Structure 1
C-alpha cells in the first residue's frame, strides 16, 4: 500500500531533532511521497530546501497562510515567485482566508490571497501552471467570492484540511475542486460530521494528509506522550476514511494516491 501525504509541515521546528527518523517511520508506514507545506516567508524556502534534499520523496508548496498575511509585501511576492521557478515546488499556497483566528486583519488576508491567486494565473500564462493549495476557515462567502473573481483563469485546486459544512463541501465539489482530509476526521468532538460527508466526495477528488505536526488523530493507538503528529499516522487516517466510505482500505489508499499523483504531477517513486 503506497500513500501520499499532501500536506505535512515538516519544516516545523518540532521536527528539527529527529526529522530523518520521522521520514523513515513514514516510509515504514507506506508513505511513498510527501508534499511539504510552505505557509510563510520563513517556511516556504525551508520547504523547498527539504524537497531538494530528498528528491523523489519530498515536494513542496510555496505560499503565505492567512495567519501571516501581514507579511505579504511586494518583496514577499517576489520571493514567492522566485520559489515557484523551482520544479520541486508543486503548488501555490498554502493561501486563503481564516476568519476563525483573525491573526491577520481581514483586509490583509484578502490582499495576500488575491496576490497569490494572481501568481497562479501568471504561472499558467507562462506555461508552468500549478495547482492551488487552499485554506478556508469561517470565511466561506468571501473565499468563494474571491475565487469566482478568477473564474476560468485558475487550474486545479484543493481545499486542504477540509473541516467545513455540507454546504461548503458541495460548493467546492461543484467547482470540481479537490478535498484534503486530515485526522480531524478522527476527532469525536469536532469531526463527527465528516464521517458522513466523506462518503460524498468522488474518488478522483479525494486526497489525504496529516497536517503534521498538528491534528494528531485522536483514535490512533498508542497515543504518543508528546502529542506531535507525524506522517506515519497517515496510514491510520486512510483506514478510518475507508471505513467511513464503506470501502476496502486498499481501494481508498490506491484512489487517494492516484488522485494526489495526478493533481501534483508527481512522478512514480523509484522502487
Structure 2
C-alpha cells in the first residue's frame, strides 16, 4: 500500500498511559484500518523518553514529535500553565534528537481562564511558544500546534514569531480566523470528534488543500468519554468527504499528500 492509499494520523498521544496495556493491539488495529503513519506528540518533559522509545519500537509506522505543551501538571496532577523551567528541562533533548523527530510539538497557546487567570500566564505561554518556533526554524522542522480558546492569538503569534510550516490541530476557533492561517499556508487537522461538535462550518470553509487528518487519541473520539484510537481516523475522512461533496478515497489521497508535504520526514517510513 502506498501512502496515498493509506491514512496518515497527524496528531496522536499513543504514549499515553491509557494505551499501556494493549498498545500492540492498538497499532495492529491501526494497520488494519489503513493507517500507514502516525505522529506521536509529547506534552510534558516526562513524555520525551516514552515517545522516543515507542516510536523506536514501531519505527515502521510511528514518528516522534517533541515539544512542550502550554498546559502542564503540578505534583498533585492538577493542570497548570507552562513555565520557562518546563522548557529548560527539555531543550537539550530536543537538540539531541532533532534529526529523529518529525516536528516540534505539541506546542501552542491555551487561554482557558482556569489555565491563564493572569496576563503573566499568557505572556509565559507566548515566550515558551516563541522559543519552540525558533527551534523549528533552526532545525527546519514543522510545528504541531495546540490553540484551545486561543485561535486568533495563536495564529497572530505564529506569524509574529516567523513560523514557517504549521499544523493547527483540532482548531476550535472561528472559520474566519482559520482562514487567516490558510493565508499563511498553515494546515488544519480534523479529529473524529468532528461528528459531535460544532465545527461543521470550519470543515466546509477550509480548502481541502489545507486539511489533514488526526485522531488526537486517546482524546477527541467520536463518542465523548471513550478512548479514541488511530483506527477511528476513517470517521474524520468520511465526515470531510460528506461535507465537501467528495469521495472518501479522494479525501484520503489528498490529505495524505498534504501530510507528507507538511512533514517531509514521513518519507523515511513511507514507501
**TM-score normalised by the chain length of structure 1:** 0.85
**Residue deviations 1:16-56, cap 9 Å, x none?**
00001000000000000000111111113321221122213
CA spacing shift, 1:101–1:36, aligned 2, 3 Å: farther
Alignment of 1:67 onto 2:71:
yes
Instruction: Evaluate the alpha carbon distance shift between residue 248 and residue 37 of structure 1 in structure 2; reply closer, same or farther with a 3 A threshold.
Output: same
- Tell whether 2:101 aligns with 1:89: yes
Q: 2-side partners of 1:94 and 1:259: how far apart?
A: 19
1:92 positional shift: 1.3
For 1:21-32, what aligned pairs fall within 5 Å after superposition?
Answer: 21-32=25-36
RMSD: 2.3
Residues matched between the structures, number: 257
- 1:202 is aligned to 207
- How far does residue 90 in structure 1 lie from its aligned partner after superposition? 1.3
Aligned to 1:267: 267
Distance 1:259 1:140 in 2: 22
**Aligned equivalents of 1:197 and 1:122: distance in 2?**
30
Aligned pairs for 1:103-182 within 5 A? 103=115, 107-125=120-138, 128-150=139-161, 153-182=162-191
Which 5+ residue runs of structure 2 have no aligned equivalent?
Answer: 73-79
2:107–2:144 Cα contact (<8 Å) kept:
yes
SS at match of 2:45: coil
Given that 2:212 and 2:255 are in contact with CA atoms closer than 8 Å, whether structure 1 keeps it comes out as yes
CA distance in 1 between counterparts of 2:182 and 2:216 reads 21
Name the CA shift for 1:34/1:217 in 2 (closer, same or farther; >3 Å): same
**Equivalent position SS for 2:219:** coil
Q: CA deviation at 1:110?
A: 3.5
Structure 2 match to 1:57: 61
Structure 1 window deviating more from structure 2 (52-61 vs 75-84): it is 75-84
Task: Specify the alignment match of 1:253 in structure 2.
Answer: 252
- Alignment gaps of 5+ in structure 1: none
